[in-house]
Structure 1
């Protein structure tokens, strides 16, 4: 096995189901310290859900040492689901038919392994390099995301530390390694809406108020809204109902309330406050009695073409000969936090077709090219 594959094996063996770390960050810190990195470990969260984060920096030797490139990612993984549905133990990495199988193989322990090996090779070849290199690795990306990268970013901001360039190893490729990189992500805004009615017998609707009937017209209007037209980088903002519930379980009772969960994925053409106001205006126009609780999961961020994007696309073309497409599609990432202290944040990693699935894998033949692109 090559060094990247060996390190990936070591990380996949750790049962780091979010927010557990199970020793992943100690493995990484040990290797980085041997390269001369100053490693800081931050623990956050309640006692039963402790999150471990790593911030490691190797300062350059020249005047431009302040130019800092950070590799960012997460060692936590989603639960494997039914173990019996896997062809092999998700935490016992194995190679079958040219694929490395295991939870985190694609998302994103192999990318982190490639980060580290690429850095080892670079430092060995350039012992007096001028720039600075950092690692920001968390154990809370697949979970709530409240005690992970965001906490490190808040600490760095309080200390007056900034990052010039950040490369996140999320699995962004689609059909082949390097075909897609993320230059940003949409924002996410969730709402928990409770529509109030008056409970009663279905045979006496004049003595009750059905919140389902009252909510259908405004919900239809919300679903039909064009919130914005997007822009050259982002698709139009979307609004989707994710859950809806009412009723006592009896078919002869008009419910007293209706609960609806919904989510916006929004572009930079809209703001969270504007979207909230427009939702309230529609609900108020239909004279609903309601309460609504909002959760802003993250603001949209965008990295315009610049030094980092050029470096990544050039490296991809040099190593695998692929022309890269820039995208802002998909869910959220920790880039939404890092963008607060870093003007250039780009995500690039292996193909994402198997992530979060049973028998997650990465093609073994892609591991060395991935490392070489990072190098």
Structure 2
């Protein structure tokens, strides 16, 4: 019979494996060993070469339906400068608080899931459904050789789950406040306008690219993109940089560039926004360059049985009715949504990426109980 595993001890152990993105792999080796002892079949799936080489892990226990997957990442952001009251990779617990890089984003959630699984298996050694983990080592980085690649492998090997829970820290201040059921899409664009350099006193001999760029940006920002939709707030276009590189006061520059980002809802696609920006830009500067990178499309998991099971698990354990939300930045859920329904629920994220990142042991216990209740409602 499986013995239940202590969540704070598991989280501390994971933190003690430094894993600045991309995780060099030791964290996942330790996690894989723990999962193997719980009866999981573990697959280590590294992708990429050289400095881009990224460790990934997929583990599954059982073959039946339904198939519930927990997704997350072992990589963390750099610890920054000094000032930590405990070392960022010590995994120290003091006065009921666990400190360390990744405590809330998101090694704590990974530990909570493993602890919840061990408790469920102690009660029900052979669940009716199957349980899996999809763990990447590059969520905090470019996200090119992580979850996307593992999902391709999962599809090729008939391992796509019926529902996936991502353990990102979703709660602003207290456990049970928010379940993320979608995210806005994100597109980054660089517009480069070329003109003709010249003396400011003789503008007829030059072509000022700054003026053309200002006209482009003015039109792009003149009106709101939309008023929002049923589940999403209005899309947002933000100019993040205007670069000319001109140190002289009497020279019309030869080139000007701007960068912008759009966080867009389900009324748009990245492709359509790219085409719109290109059309507006070429109206004012026909030979300009418009380079776009779509980080992810918007996605939404509409309320259904799986989401209701998660909502009820949160309510049962925390006593709160969680808000179903689509705000915030991007996460690896944007990749998972292409394959199966996905939602996010994790710890309180107030200290993520900060000096003295931390989580209370009480919140770790609460999250473990939520995951345990979800497992009982679905696969046990």
**Normalised by the size of structure 1, how large is the TM-score?**
0.94
Q: Which residue of 2 aligns with 1:91?
A: 89
**What is the alpha-carbon distance in structure 1 between the residues aligned to residue 47 and residue 289 of structure 2?**
32
Instruction: Give the counterpart of 1:57 among 56, 60, 71.
Output: 60
- Which stretch shows the higher mean deviation, 282-291 or 354-363? 282-291
**What is the alpha-carbon distance in structure 1 between the residues aligned to residue 172 and residue 145 of structure 2?**
30
1:318-337 to 2 correspondences below 5 Å? 318-337=316-335
Deviation at 1:80, TM superposition (A): 1.3
1:191 aligns with 2:163: no
Answer yes or no: is the 8 Å Cα contact 2:65–2:128 preserved in 1.
no
Deviations, residues 276-328 of structure 1 (Å, cap 9, x unaligned): 22212222332453101111111111111112221111111111211100100
Q: Which residue of 1 aligns with 2:40?
A: 37
Instruction: Give the counterpart of 1:369 among 352, 357, 366.
Output: 366
**What is the alpha-carbon distance in structure 1 between the residues aligned to residue 110 and residue 153 of structure 2?**
22
Answer yes or no: is the 8 Å Cα contact 1:247–1:254 preserved in 2.
no
1:350 aligns with 2:347: yes
- Which stretch shows the higher mean deviation, 320-329 or 40-49? 40-49
Q: Which residue of 1 aligns with 2:357?
A: 360
Q: Which residue of 2 aligns with 1:77?
A: 76
Figure out how many residues of one structure are paired with residues of the other and give that number: 368
Deviation at 1:252, TM superposition (A): 3.1
1:274-285 to 2 correspondences below 5 Å? 274-285=272-283
Instruction: Give the counterpart of 2:259 among 253, 258, 261.
Output: 261
Instruction: Give the counterpart of 1:7 among 7, 10, 32.
Output: 10
Deviation at 1:38, TM superposition (A): 0.8
Answer yes or no: is the 8 Å Cα contact 1:200–1:208 preserved in 2.
yes
Answer yes or no: is the 8 Å Cα contact 1:316–1:322 preserved in 2.
yes
Answer yes or no: is the 8 Å Cα contact 2:196–2:253 preserved in 1.
yes
CA RMSD, Structure 1 to Structure 2 (Å): 1.5
Structure 1 gap segments, 5+ residues each: none
Answer yes or no: is the 8 Å Cα contact 1:52–1:138 preserved in 2.
yes
* SS of the residue 1:51 aligns to: coil
Q: Which residue of 1 aligns with 2:269?
A: 271
**What is the alpha-carbon distance in structure 1 between the residues aligned to residue 83 and residue 219 of structure 2?**
42
Deviations, residues 99-120 of structure 1 (Å, cap 9, x unaligned): 2211101100000000101011
Q: Would you identify which runs of 4 or more consecutive aligned residues in structure 1 move more than 6 Å? A: none
1:299 aligns with 2:297: yes
1:141-220 to 2 correspondences below 5 Å? 141-220=139-218
Structure 2 gap segments, 5+ residues each: 373-380
**What is the alpha-carbon distance in structure 1 between the residues aligned to residue 229 and residue 95 of structure 2?**
43
**Normalised by the size of structure 2, how large is the TM-score?**
0.93
